[in-house]
């Protein structure tokens, strides 16, 4: 493996002792920023018995991080639109937001330095995937309030890539532009990569220039990654970031060794906790990822409970030479666990089980049907000719522990979305 780095490799390959000293210094600065620059944060610190006016003076750094309060999406919603912002509004230069399914939107504001930090994190991801200046990247996420399009764009500019900013949808045009401009890198949500693959298979064509796929924004199972890798004939990378941390790529990506997602530890500190107790869990144990930003200005996050489930894979130096911690691909969310007929499972487990069946295609629906308070599940899935509903049901029973209802459909019969794919639907059959 010949590693590639953005600008110089020093920050990405810091010895662990040096990395910890840098984290300590930056965490102390962040604690000072939020406690002196924001009323909401000061009250939050005081709510757990911390003296917000004096904590920065005695705060040692990472070893004291568990003394700090945790934050969540609820804090963003309560403080909408800029109640957690730590700089004057006149210093802001951009904002993005995600609405979620309920409540006020979650807003992330940016200073000039925040935008540069985001671009740097994304550029690191591009270089880690093997891109070179002048490579053509096709950016397919929406350019708007959703951070995906702009995040990939900011990073591509920093990495000196040739940007084809298509945005989402119009797959036929996407293919034509990729052929006309010689696209080498394709960036988007994982489900749109599948849509591109389907369109290419239907037309019997290939994208000869395409070599790298960078996908994120959705739970990315091994089965789906394998389907994209083999179907498109490219190397596939799992990129990670969220609105609350500053957007796509801010947290990191897997390297060519594909043995976990590197978290940019000079920019963010990662913990994995037990979702029920809030205590840290041992490395290798699945829990909820908690993130603290170390360089953000406008809205740093302190021990932000992401809701994402993962584990620490390794803290050792990686094959790629990077020293930053590696976490497992996100396996689900604490708030999307389903309980049907006494069995607990996550939608990603359904996807992984489906894609283990030969002839099953990566488009499916999980429909939760509730009748008078009793929940049942229906799994609809697209399949190739010869795959029966019995085969699907039998395999799901072996993997999940119960037999879901459901139907099989021909390729293209289930609805598609241009952005993030919707997999789980709720249906009430109450007679009242």
pLDDT at 338: 73
Contacts of 83 (CB under 8 A, 6+ apart): 40
Q: Give the residue-averaged pLDDT of 347-374.
A: 81
pLDDT at 46: 93
Q: Give the residue-averaged pLDDT of 2-14.
A: 82
Residue with tokens 């996807």: 351
For the chain, the domains span 1-333, 338-428
CA-CA distance, 248 to 126, in Å (whole number)?
A: 12
CATH top-level class of 338-428: alpha beta
Give the number of C-alpha atoms closer than 13 A to the C-alpha of residue 74, restricted to the C-beta side. Answer: 5
The band of 215, judged by pLDDT with boundaries at 50, 70 and 90, is: very high
Q: Is the pLDDT of residue 100 over 60?
A: no
3-state secondary structure of 124: helix
Residue with tokens 């994995």: 272
CA-CA distance, 254 to 327, in Å (whole number)?
A: 9
CA-CA distance, 164 to 356, in Å (whole number)?
A: 35
Identify the residue with better confidence: 283 or 105: 283
pLDDT at 418: 64
Cβ-in-10-Å burial (0-12, 13-18, 19+) of 321 comes to middle
pLDDT at 90: 98
pLDDT at 181: 98
Q: How far is CA 261 from the centre of its chain?
A: 10
Q: What tokens does 280 get?
A: 């840290």
Domain 1-333, CATH homologous superfamily name and number = ANL, N-terminal domain (3.40.50.12780)
Q: Give the residue-averaged pLDDT of 382-389.
A: 88
Q: Please, which residues bridge with residue 269 across strands?
A: 292
Cis peptide before 38 (omega within 30 of 0): no
């Amino acid at each position: 493996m010949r590693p590639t780095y953005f600008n110089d490799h020093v920050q990405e390959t810091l010895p662990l002792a040096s990395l910890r000293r840098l984290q300590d210094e930056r965490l102390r600065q962040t604690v000072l920023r939020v406690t002196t620059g924001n009323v909401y944060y000061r009250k939050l610190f005081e709510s757990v018995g911390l003296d917000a006016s004096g904590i920065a003076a005695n705060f040692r750094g990472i070893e004291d991080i568990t003394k700090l309060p945790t934050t969540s999406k609820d804090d963003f919603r309560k403080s909408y639109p800029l109640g957690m912002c730590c700089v004057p509004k006149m210093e802001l230069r951009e904002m993005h937001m995600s609405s979620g399914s309920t409540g006020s939107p979650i807003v992330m504001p940016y200073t000039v330095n925040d935008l540069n930090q985001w671009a740097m994190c994304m550029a690191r991801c591009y270089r880690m995937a093997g891109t070179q200046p002048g490579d053509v990247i096709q950016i397919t996420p929406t350019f708007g309030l959703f951070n995906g399009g702009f995040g990939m764009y900011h990073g591509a500019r920093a990495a000196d890539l040739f940007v084809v900013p298509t945005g989402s949808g119009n797959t036929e045009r996407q293919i034509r532009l990729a052929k006309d401009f010689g696209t080498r890198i394709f960036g988007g949500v994982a489900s749109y990569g599948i849509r591109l693959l389907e369109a290419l298979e239907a037309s019997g064509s290939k994208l000869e220039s395409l070599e790298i796929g960078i996908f994120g924004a959705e739970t990315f199972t091994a089965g789906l990654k394998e389907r994209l890798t083999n179907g498109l004939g490219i190397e596939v990378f799992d990129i990670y970031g969220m609105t609350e941390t500053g957007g796509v790529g801010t947290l990191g990506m897997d390297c060519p060794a594909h043995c976990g997602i590197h978290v940019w530890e000079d920019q963010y500190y990662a913990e994995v906790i037990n979702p029920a107790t809030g205590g840290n869990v041992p490395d290798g144990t699945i829990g909820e990822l908690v993130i603290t930003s170390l360089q953000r200005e406008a809205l740093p996050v302190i021990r932000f409970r992401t809701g994402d489930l993962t584990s620490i894979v390794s803290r050792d130096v990686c094959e790629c030479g990077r020293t930053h911690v590696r976490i497992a691909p996100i396996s689900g969310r604490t708030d999307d666990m389903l309980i049907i007929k006494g069995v607990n499972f996550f939608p990603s487990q359904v996807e992984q089980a489906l894609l283990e069946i030969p002839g099953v295609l990566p488009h499916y629906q999980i429909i939760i049907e509730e009748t008078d308070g009793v929940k049942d599940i229906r799994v609809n899935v697209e399949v190739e000719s010869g795959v029966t509903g019995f085969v699907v049901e039998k395999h799901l029973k072996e993997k999940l522990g119960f037999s879901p209802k459901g139907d099989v459909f021909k390729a293209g019969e289930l609805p598609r979305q241009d952005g993030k794919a919707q997999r789980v639907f709720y249906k009430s059959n109450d007679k009242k």
